Structure 1
């Protein structure tokens, strides 16, 4: 079977609206710092008004950000997700096409508007997200493009998509297509709240359908309901999963059934915006994994991408990841 893509992602298609705000803004608008909270369209409109002119719009969504990062490394990519046929949806689609990501999923003609994520960035660089899922929740199994999945070396699944029954069925359907075609499946847990809501389902997927798991430390601890990182690692190894777990300034830990590899984070002069750090770490790792690089190099590529993205506002690369990787002697 011919490989048409390095990675095809499935996730929530969202437009990010990012603004720099004072610390008190979070309390005023009841925003949970450092996390992601689901909001209504009315709440999204109010936050948009509160952000005022001090914001920028970027095609986003966790999985889509990762796919854009892989494209920056020079990888061939595709994306499956749902937007509405409205200005935000057209903005998202144009942004994907601009970086050569194949995105053929038909737009929603009737129903909720395109999803948006209101990202408040405080002076410490932390991002706090308030997300209106909109049209992205209308994603169903009928939107899953089997030809794209069977033509990809890796299918990358975004945990955020798991929050609605129809999308969950599409999620599982996509993984089954990939497995039947002997393609590899990667999953990101996305957020601790996703793990809390879907812990049993995620662990079932990890045991039987997932070849590579992405998580941060908090998500891994939640997955195995422990406060001890080493215990969580041992539980993960018993499940037979290979995983890349990010630990902020501590770097990351790559866990396989045979070894545990600790990798340091790349030095960063100043953290401007932590938005997308985990997404871009996954981008670098997945690019290396698709190209059969050793695990240590996959993690290094991930840290190079994460360091670049936290050095500026926004969740997607502003400097070519491929150029940075070549400079580091990895490509």
Structure 2
């Protein structure tokens, strides 16, 4: 069975109920989420042997996160728990026009220290050489900081020399970066160590001011990507390899409720397909189908029984 490890951060999520209590007080539902964590959940549900790589505390919420992962068949053996620490937190607020705002408390989160030294990075690298693929995102890059990114790049270089596939989603979030120039440099740097790039054109527009397919092809032409996947919402997904360019239609979805996590779930479907031997097109179709299920439900991670039922329908 194919084995993948995702690297990133899991946060405590507080989301408001639609109505307040009898005293007018806002009621919040507690859950856990994070971009690469969301992808890990669905990769595990799709049959990949999945490990998660992060750092947590030894508090009750970190314990709940570990239990939640175990319940999703996600391996926790590569997670380090630091005494006296606790995971980051974010709160979702619904605006009057139906959009959602996110407010974060994550500056002291232990995941930020994932690659705090070359020694720590090398120790993790030794554990990851047994995987078929490692997956990370631009959020992973942003939270660990500039010096740690260099340690990470060195590890990715060593992993690729051991035939481990590196998959990356830029997932650009401006507030996590010092400025746009820092983000641009980091995104281009990691492309040197990436095999499968899973990019969203909305992020490309935010980061580069150019969301055209031709612009993306030109921007990444000098990098040795085996697969450049461009996610374009309701428009065709595009897969670019050194020898071909493929377009995969996105069927219309009725009853869209919440697009949170759609890109993360596409990534899960696509990577699961590729690592299980499916073609480029069939993998993209699986990713599109998975994303189409998620957006008809609230939240990035939906009940497993619902997901399995709709996937098999």
Q: Distance in 1 between matches of 2:266 and 2:217?
A: 19
Higher relative contact order (CA 8 A, sep 6+): 1
Q: Distance in 1 between matches of 2:62 and 2:47?
A: 25
**Is 1:13 matched with 2:10?**
yes
Q: Distance in 1 between matches of 2:96 and 2:26?
A: 18
The 8 Å contact of residues 94 and 101 in structure 2, kept in 1 or not, is answered as: yes
The equivalent of 1:232 in structure 2 is 216
Q: Distance in 2 between matches of 1:216 and 1:51?
A: 38
Q: Distance in 2 between matches of 1:322 and 1:237?
A: 38
Which among 246, 262, 274 is matched to residue 259 of structure 2? 274
SS at match of 1:239: coil
Single out whichever of 65-74 and 120-129 deviates more from structure 2: 120-129
**Is 1:139 matched with 2:124?**
no
Shift of 1:51: 8.7
Q: Distance in 2 between matches of 1:259 and 1:169?
A: 32
Single out whichever of 256-265 and 67-76 deviates more from structure 2: 256-265
Q: How many pairs does the alignment contain?
A: 294
The 8 Å contact of residues 121 and 273 in structure 1, kept in 2 or not, is answered as: no
Single out whichever of 221-230 and 250-259 deviates more from structure 2: 221-230
**Is 1:253 matched with 2:234?**
no
Which among 6, 19, 40 is matched to residue 67 of structure 1? 40
Q: Distance in 1 between matches of 2:198 and 2:95?
A: 26
Q: Distance in 2 between matches of 1:175 and 1:326?
A: 36
Which among 111, 128, 134 is matched to residue 101 of structure 2? 128
Shift of 1:284: 0.3
Mark the CA change 1:127 to 1:229 in structure 2 (over 3 Å): closer, same or farther: farther
Shift of 1:263: 2.0
The equivalent of 1:302 in structure 2 is 287
The equivalent of 1:183 in structure 2 is 164
SS at match of 2:238: strand
Q: Distance in 2 between matches of 1:57 and 1:220?
A: 32
Shift of 1:81: 0.5
TM-score, with structure 1 as normaliser: 0.79
Which among 67, 71, 84 is matched to residue 57 of structure 2? 84
Displacement over 6 Å in runs of 4+: none
SS at match of 2:65: helix
Which among 115, 126, 132 is matched to residue 153 of structure 1? 132
The equivalent of 1:287 in structure 2 is 272
Task: Please list every run of 5 or more consecutive structure 1 residues that lacks an aligned counterpart in the other structure.
Answer: 23-49
Q: Distance in 2 between matches of 1:237 and 1:51?
A: 54
Q: Distance in 1 between matches of 2:16 and 2:173?
A: 23
SS at match of 1:114: coil
The 8 Å contact of residues 201 and 211 in structure 2, kept in 1 or not, is answered as: no
The 8 Å contact of residues 301 and 325 in structure 1, kept in 2 or not, is answered as: no
TM-score, with structure 2 as normaliser: 0.83
Q: Distance in 2 between matches of 1:265 and 1:127?
A: 24
The 8 Å contact of residues 139 and 170 in structure 2, kept in 1 or not, is answered as: yes
The 8 Å contact of residues 91 and 102 in structure 2, kept in 1 or not, is answered as: yes
The 8 Å contact of residues 66 and 279 in structure 1, kept in 2 or not, is answered as: yes
